[in-house]
Chains A and B, each alone.
Chain A
Amino acid sequence: MIIDLRDITPWLQEAFQVVTRLGLLRQNWDTYEAEAPNETARGLARKVLMNMGEVELRPTRVDASAEGGICISFVQGSRYADIECFNSGEVLAVTSSGDGQPTVWEVPATEFDIQSAVAAIQTYLNK
Protein backbone atom coordinates (compact mmCIF):
# COMPACT_ATOMS: atom_id res chain seq x y z
CA MET A 1 0.00 0.00 0.00
CA ILE A 2 1.45 3.40 -0.94
CA ILE A 3 0.22 6.25 1.20
CA ASP A 4 1.08 9.91 0.72
CA LEU A 5 1.47 11.13 4.29
CA ARG A 6 0.83 14.74 3.22
CA ASP A 7 -2.79 13.85 2.44
CA ILE A 8 -3.72 12.63 5.90
CA THR A 9 -4.40 14.20 9.28
CA PRO A 10 -1.49 14.73 11.73
CA TRP A 11 -2.57 12.03 14.22
CA LEU A 12 -2.82 9.52 11.40
CA GLN A 13 0.60 10.54 10.03
CA GLU A 14 2.01 10.00 13.51
CA ALA A 15 0.32 6.60 13.81
CA PHE A 16 1.81 5.52 10.47
CA GLN A 17 5.24 6.60 11.63
CA VAL A 18 4.80 4.52 14.80
CA VAL A 19 3.89 1.49 12.67
CA THR A 20 7.05 2.00 10.62
CA ARG A 21 9.19 2.36 13.77
CA LEU A 22 7.72 -0.84 15.22
CA GLY A 23 9.31 -2.64 12.30
CA LEU A 24 12.68 -1.86 13.90
CA LEU A 25 11.92 -3.71 17.13
CA ARG A 26 14.15 -6.67 17.87
CA GLN A 27 12.94 -10.13 18.83
CA ASN A 28 12.40 -10.52 22.59
CA TRP A 29 11.65 -6.78 22.86
CA ASP A 30 9.56 -7.37 26.00
CA THR A 31 12.08 -9.76 27.70
CA TYR A 32 9.48 -12.58 27.49
CA GLU A 33 10.50 -13.74 23.99
CA ALA A 34 7.97 -11.61 22.07
CA GLU A 35 8.28 -11.60 18.28
CA ALA A 36 8.77 -8.25 16.54
CA PRO A 37 5.90 -7.14 14.26
CA ASN A 38 6.49 -8.32 10.69
CA GLU A 39 5.46 -6.73 7.39
CA THR A 40 2.15 -8.64 7.35
CA ALA A 41 1.14 -7.15 10.71
CA ARG A 42 2.36 -3.68 9.74
CA GLY A 43 0.43 -3.77 6.45
CA LEU A 44 -2.76 -4.81 8.25
CA ALA A 45 -2.25 -2.12 10.89
CA ARG A 46 -1.95 0.55 8.17
CA LYS A 47 -5.16 -0.73 6.59
CA VAL A 48 -7.00 -0.57 9.92
CA LEU A 49 -5.61 2.91 10.64
CA MET A 50 -6.73 4.18 7.21
CA ASN A 51 -10.25 3.05 8.06
CA MET A 52 -10.04 4.77 11.44
CA GLY A 53 -8.79 7.91 9.72
CA GLU A 54 -11.83 7.96 7.43
CA VAL A 55 -14.18 8.17 10.42
CA GLU A 56 -11.81 10.27 12.57
CA LEU A 57 -11.57 7.53 15.19
CA ARG A 58 -8.26 8.38 16.88
CA PRO A 59 -6.65 5.56 18.86
CA THR A 60 -5.14 6.11 22.31
CA ARG A 61 -2.11 4.04 21.41
CA VAL A 62 -0.45 2.09 18.63
CA ASP A 63 2.21 -0.36 19.71
CA ALA A 64 3.61 -3.85 19.51
CA SER A 65 1.76 -6.91 20.74
CA ALA A 66 3.48 -9.47 22.96
CA GLU A 67 1.90 -12.14 20.77
CA GLY A 68 3.67 -10.87 17.65
CA GLY A 69 1.94 -8.03 15.84
CA ILE A 70 0.56 -4.55 16.34
CA CYS A 71 -2.19 -3.44 18.69
CA ILE A 72 -4.27 -0.32 18.05
CA SER A 73 -6.10 0.49 21.27
CA PHE A 74 -8.63 2.88 22.77
CA VAL A 75 -9.21 3.80 26.41
CA GLN A 76 -12.16 5.95 27.32
CA GLY A 77 -13.00 5.99 31.03
CA SER A 78 -13.80 2.37 31.86
CA ARG A 79 -14.24 1.43 28.21
CA TYR A 80 -11.44 -0.34 26.41
CA ALA A 81 -11.28 -1.49 22.80
CA ASP A 82 -8.56 -2.65 20.48
CA ILE A 83 -7.80 -4.21 17.14
CA GLU A 84 -4.77 -6.49 17.11
CA CYS A 85 -3.09 -7.28 13.78
CA PHE A 86 -0.96 -10.39 14.13
CA ASN A 87 2.14 -11.53 12.24
CA SER A 88 0.11 -14.58 11.19
CA GLY A 89 -2.28 -12.35 9.23
CA GLU A 90 -5.12 -12.75 11.74
CA VAL A 91 -6.96 -9.68 12.99
CA LEU A 92 -8.95 -9.71 16.24
CA ALA A 93 -10.97 -7.04 17.98
CA VAL A 94 -12.19 -6.62 21.54
CA THR A 95 -14.41 -4.29 23.50
CA SER A 96 -14.56 -4.44 27.29
CA SER A 97 -15.83 -2.36 30.15
CA GLY A 98 -13.89 -4.37 32.72
CA ASP A 99 -16.90 -6.26 34.05
CA GLY A 100 -15.45 -9.66 33.17
CA GLN A 101 -17.44 -10.05 29.95
CA PRO A 102 -15.30 -8.81 27.05
CA THR A 103 -16.62 -9.12 23.51
CA VAL A 104 -13.97 -10.61 21.24
CA TRP A 105 -14.33 -11.33 17.56
CA GLU A 106 -12.24 -12.30 14.55
CA VAL A 107 -12.04 -9.72 11.78
CA PRO A 108 -11.44 -11.12 8.29
CA ALA A 109 -8.86 -8.87 6.61
CA THR A 110 -11.27 -7.50 4.00
CA GLU A 111 -12.07 -3.83 3.56
CA PHE A 112 -15.71 -4.45 4.49
CA ASP A 113 -14.96 -6.41 7.68
CA ILE A 114 -12.32 -3.96 8.87
CA GLN A 115 -14.74 -1.07 8.27
CA SER A 116 -17.39 -2.95 10.24
CA ALA A 117 -15.01 -3.59 13.15
CA VAL A 118 -13.97 0.07 13.23
CA ALA A 119 -17.64 1.10 13.19
CA ALA A 120 -18.45 -1.33 16.02
CA ILE A 121 -15.64 0.10 18.15
CA GLN A 122 -16.74 3.65 17.41
CA THR A 123 -20.31 2.83 18.41
CA TYR A 124 -19.11 1.13 21.58
CA LEU A 125 -16.92 4.07 22.62
CA ASN A 126 -19.69 6.60 21.91
CA LYS A 127 -22.41 4.70 23.82
Chain B
Amino acid sequence: MAASAKKAARRALYWVMSTLVWRGPRPRAMLRNGRSLDPLFAPHEMLYLRCTLEGTETITAADGTPYRRVRPAHIHFPDQSVNRQKYSRPWHVLLPSDDERSQSWILYGSAQVPVSGIPPAQQSAGNVRFEFTVEHDPLDDNFGHAELRVYKSGQRERDKRRINAVVKKTYRQLLSEQTRIALEPLV
Protein backbone atom coordinates (compact mmCIF):
# COMPACT_ATOMS: atom_id res chain seq x y z
CA MET B 1 0.00 0.00 0.00
CA ALA B 2 1.32 3.46 -0.87
CA ALA B 3 2.40 5.72 2.02
CA SER B 4 -0.41 8.20 1.36
CA ALA B 5 -3.00 5.38 1.41
CA LYS B 6 -1.59 4.05 4.69
CA LYS B 7 -1.85 7.52 6.22
CA ALA B 8 -5.42 7.94 5.04
CA ALA B 9 -6.34 4.48 6.36
CA ARG B 10 -4.85 5.18 9.79
CA ARG B 11 -6.58 8.57 10.03
CA ALA B 12 -9.89 7.00 8.98
CA LEU B 13 -9.54 4.19 11.52
CA TYR B 14 -8.84 6.72 14.27
CA TRP B 15 -11.84 8.80 13.23
CA VAL B 16 -14.15 5.77 13.31
CA MET B 17 -12.88 4.59 16.70
CA SER B 18 -12.84 8.00 18.41
CA THR B 19 -16.18 9.13 16.99
CA LEU B 20 -18.28 5.98 16.90
CA VAL B 21 -16.72 3.58 19.38
CA TRP B 22 -14.90 5.47 22.17
CA ARG B 23 -16.87 8.71 21.76
CA GLY B 24 -13.74 10.60 22.81
CA PRO B 25 -10.07 10.90 21.86
CA ARG B 26 -9.03 7.81 23.85
CA PRO B 27 -10.62 4.46 24.80
CA ARG B 28 -12.09 4.29 28.30
CA ALA B 29 -9.62 1.52 29.17
CA MET B 30 -6.82 4.09 29.00
CA LEU B 31 -8.36 6.33 31.67
CA ARG B 32 -7.18 6.06 35.25
CA ASN B 33 -10.67 5.82 36.77
CA GLY B 34 -9.38 5.78 40.36
CA ARG B 35 -7.00 2.87 39.89
CA SER B 36 -3.95 2.71 42.18
CA LEU B 37 -0.36 2.95 41.05
CA ASP B 38 1.15 -0.45 40.20
CA PRO B 39 4.89 -0.50 41.00
CA LEU B 40 5.48 -4.07 39.79
CA PHE B 41 7.01 -4.66 36.36
CA ALA B 42 7.76 -8.10 34.94
CA PRO B 43 11.13 -8.30 33.12
CA HIS B 44 9.35 -9.30 29.89
CA GLU B 45 6.78 -6.46 30.06
CA MET B 46 7.12 -4.22 27.02
CA LEU B 47 7.36 -0.43 27.24
CA TYR B 48 6.10 1.58 24.28
CA LEU B 49 7.28 4.96 22.97
CA ARG B 50 6.48 7.07 19.90
CA CYS B 51 8.91 7.19 16.99
CA THR B 52 9.16 8.74 13.54
CA LEU B 53 10.51 7.40 10.25
CA GLU B 54 13.50 9.71 10.60
CA GLY B 55 14.05 8.49 14.15
CA THR B 56 14.42 4.83 13.20
CA GLU B 57 17.07 2.83 11.35
CA THR B 58 17.69 -0.71 10.18
CA ILE B 59 20.86 -2.31 11.48
CA THR B 60 22.27 -5.82 11.72
CA ALA B 61 22.30 -7.37 15.18
CA ALA B 62 25.43 -9.02 16.57
CA ASP B 63 23.96 -12.41 15.52
CA GLY B 64 23.57 -11.25 11.91
CA THR B 65 19.79 -10.62 11.95
CA PRO B 66 18.66 -7.24 10.60
CA TYR B 67 16.25 -5.28 12.78
CA ARG B 68 14.73 -1.82 12.94
CA ARG B 69 15.24 0.27 16.05
CA VAL B 70 14.93 3.78 17.44
CA ARG B 71 18.17 5.58 16.60
CA PRO B 72 20.40 6.36 19.60
CA ALA B 73 20.18 10.09 18.83
CA HIS B 74 16.40 9.91 19.25
CA ILE B 75 16.52 8.45 22.76
CA HIS B 76 15.77 10.94 25.56
CA PHE B 77 17.44 10.88 28.92
CA PRO B 78 16.32 11.06 31.66
CA ASP B 79 12.54 10.80 32.19
CA GLN B 80 11.53 9.33 28.83
CA SER B 81 7.75 8.79 28.81
CA VAL B 82 6.62 5.28 27.90
CA ASN B 83 3.43 3.24 28.14
CA ARG B 84 3.24 -0.11 29.93
CA GLN B 85 2.20 -3.21 28.01
CA LYS B 86 0.28 -4.36 31.10
CA TYR B 87 -2.19 -1.48 30.67
CA SER B 88 -1.66 -0.35 27.08
CA ARG B 89 -1.50 -1.36 23.46
CA PRO B 90 1.39 -0.15 21.26
CA TRP B 91 -0.87 2.36 19.49
CA HIS B 92 -1.99 4.02 22.73
CA VAL B 93 1.13 6.24 22.60
CA LEU B 94 -0.17 7.71 19.31
CA LEU B 95 -3.56 8.84 20.57
CA PRO B 96 -3.96 12.59 20.92
CA SER B 97 -4.53 14.16 24.34
CA ASP B 98 -6.08 17.54 25.17
CA ASP B 99 -2.78 19.14 24.12
CA GLU B 100 -3.22 20.46 20.58
CA ARG B 101 0.37 19.52 19.70
CA SER B 102 -0.58 15.85 19.99
CA GLN B 103 -3.00 15.93 17.04
CA SER B 104 -0.33 14.69 14.59
CA TRP B 105 0.78 11.74 16.72
CA ILE B 106 -1.61 9.33 15.03
CA LEU B 107 0.77 8.98 12.06
CA TYR B 108 3.82 8.28 14.22
CA GLY B 109 5.09 4.79 14.92
CA SER B 110 5.44 2.89 18.16
CA ALA B 111 8.65 1.24 19.36
CA GLN B 112 8.95 -1.26 22.18
CA VAL B 113 11.63 -2.19 24.67
CA PRO B 114 11.34 -4.89 27.35
CA VAL B 115 11.84 -3.91 31.00
CA SER B 116 14.83 -6.29 30.98
CA GLY B 117 16.32 -4.11 28.20
CA ILE B 118 16.78 -1.12 30.51
CA PRO B 119 20.56 -0.65 30.75
CA PRO B 120 22.35 -1.88 33.87
CA ALA B 121 23.77 0.52 36.48
CA GLN B 122 26.93 2.40 35.54
CA GLN B 123 29.74 3.90 37.53
CA SER B 124 31.16 7.20 36.26
CA ALA B 125 34.91 7.91 36.16
CA GLY B 126 34.42 9.84 39.41
CA ASN B 127 32.95 6.70 41.06
CA VAL B 128 29.39 8.02 41.11
CA ARG B 129 26.81 5.26 40.68
CA PHE B 130 23.92 5.75 38.25
CA GLU B 131 20.97 3.34 38.32
CA PHE B 132 18.22 3.21 35.72
CA THR B 133 14.68 2.16 36.30
CA VAL B 134 11.12 2.34 35.02
CA GLU B 135 8.41 3.66 37.33
CA HIS B 136 4.67 3.71 36.87
CA ASP B 137 3.44 7.31 36.58
CA PRO B 138 -0.31 7.09 35.84
CA LEU B 139 -2.05 10.11 34.33
CA ASP B 140 -5.80 10.74 34.45
CA ASP B 141 -6.15 10.13 30.71
CA ASN B 142 -3.38 7.53 30.43
CA PHE B 143 -3.20 5.00 33.27
CA GLY B 144 -0.44 3.02 31.55
CA HIS B 145 1.99 5.95 31.52
CA ALA B 146 5.43 5.29 33.03
CA GLU B 147 8.83 6.97 32.98
CA LEU B 148 12.37 5.74 32.49
CA ARG B 149 14.22 7.38 35.39
CA VAL B 150 17.76 7.71 36.68
CA TYR B 151 19.05 7.61 40.25
CA LYS B 152 22.40 9.21 41.02
CA SER B 153 23.96 7.83 44.23
CA GLY B 154 20.47 6.66 45.25
CA GLN B 155 18.69 10.00 44.63
CA ARG B 156 16.42 10.58 41.66
CA GLU B 157 18.12 12.96 39.19
CA ARG B 158 15.90 14.98 36.84
CA ASP B 159 18.49 17.49 35.61
CA LYS B 160 20.38 16.06 32.65
CA ARG B 161 23.17 18.60 33.20
CA ARG B 162 23.98 16.82 36.45
CA ILE B 163 24.47 13.47 34.78
CA ASN B 164 27.87 12.41 33.51
CA ALA B 165 27.95 12.85 29.71
CA VAL B 166 29.58 9.47 29.03
CA VAL B 167 27.06 7.69 31.29
CA LYS B 168 24.22 9.45 29.48
CA LYS B 169 25.42 8.56 26.00
CA THR B 170 26.20 4.96 26.96
CA TYR B 171 22.67 4.60 28.37
CA ARG B 172 21.08 6.00 25.19
CA GLN B 173 23.15 3.68 22.98
CA LEU B 174 22.31 0.59 25.04
CA LEU B 175 18.60 1.41 25.23
CA SER B 176 18.45 2.05 21.49
CA GLU B 177 19.96 -1.39 20.85
CA GLN B 178 17.10 -3.00 22.79
CA THR B 179 14.28 -1.20 20.95
CA ARG B 180 12.25 -2.74 18.13
CA ILE B 181 9.50 -1.23 16.02
CA ALA B 182 6.04 -2.41 17.10
CA LEU B 183 3.95 -0.23 14.80
CA GLU B 184 5.26 1.30 11.59
CA PRO B 185 5.78 5.10 11.59
CA LEU B 186 4.13 6.83 8.61
CA VAL B 187 5.82 10.23 9.08
Task: Give the B-binding residues of A (Cβ under 8 A).
Answer: 28, 30-34, 60-61, 63-67, 71, 73, 75, 77-78, 80, 82, 84, 88, 90, 92, 94, 96-100, 102, 104-106
- Contact pick for A104, options B64, B105, B173, CB 8 Å: B173
Distance in Å: Cβ of A99 to nearest Cβ of chain B: 5
Find the residue from B73, B166, B177 having the highest chain A CB count within 10 A.
Answer: B73
Contacts of B84 in A (CB 8 A): none
Q: Is the CB of A94 within 8 A of B72?
A: yes
Contacts of B177 in A (CB 8 A): 96, 98, 100
Cα distance A77–B102 in the bound complex, in angstroms: 35
Tell me the nearest residue of chain A to B120, going by C-beta.
A100
B145 within 8 Å of A by Cβ? Answer: no
Q: Kindly state the separation between the CA atoms of A78 and B58 in the bound complex, as whole angstroms.
A: 10
A63 CB → nearest B CB, Å: 6
Residue numbers of B with Cβ under 8 A of A are 50, 52, 54-55, 57-62, 64, 71-77, 80-81, 101-102, 105, 108, 160-161, 165-166, 168-170, 172-174, 177
Known contacts A63-B54, A77-B60; is-contact A92 B72 (Cβ 8 Å)? no
What is the minimal beta-carbon distance from B159 to any residue of chain A, in angstroms?
A: 13
- On chain B, the residues within 8 Å of A67 by CB distance are 73, 76-77, 160, 168, 172
* B169 partner, pick from A34, A60, A63, A94, beta carbons under 8 A: A94
B166 engages A104 (CB within 8 Å): yes
CB atoms of A32 and B81 under 8 A apart: yes
The listed residue (A30, A92, A94, A98) touching B55 by CB distance below 8 A is A30
Whether B166 pairs with A106 at a CB distance below 8 angstroms is yes
Q: A31-B50, A98-B177, A100-B174 are in contact. Are A66 and B169 (CB under 8 A)?
A: no
**A100 contact set on B, CB distance < 8 A:** 174, 177
Query: Which one of B72, B81, B168 contacts A82 once the chains associate, using CB atoms below 8 Å?
Result: B72
- Tell me if B54 and A32 are in contact (CB < 8 A): no
Q: Are B75 and A66 in contact (CB under 8 A)?
A: yes
- For the complex, what is the distance from the CA of A33 to the CA of B50, rounded to whole Å? 13
CA distance A71 to B72 in the complex (A): 9
Give the CA-CA distance A98 to B72 in the complex, in Å. Answer: 12
With a cutoff of 8 Å between Cβ atoms, the chain B residues found around residue A94 in the complex are 72, 169-170, 173
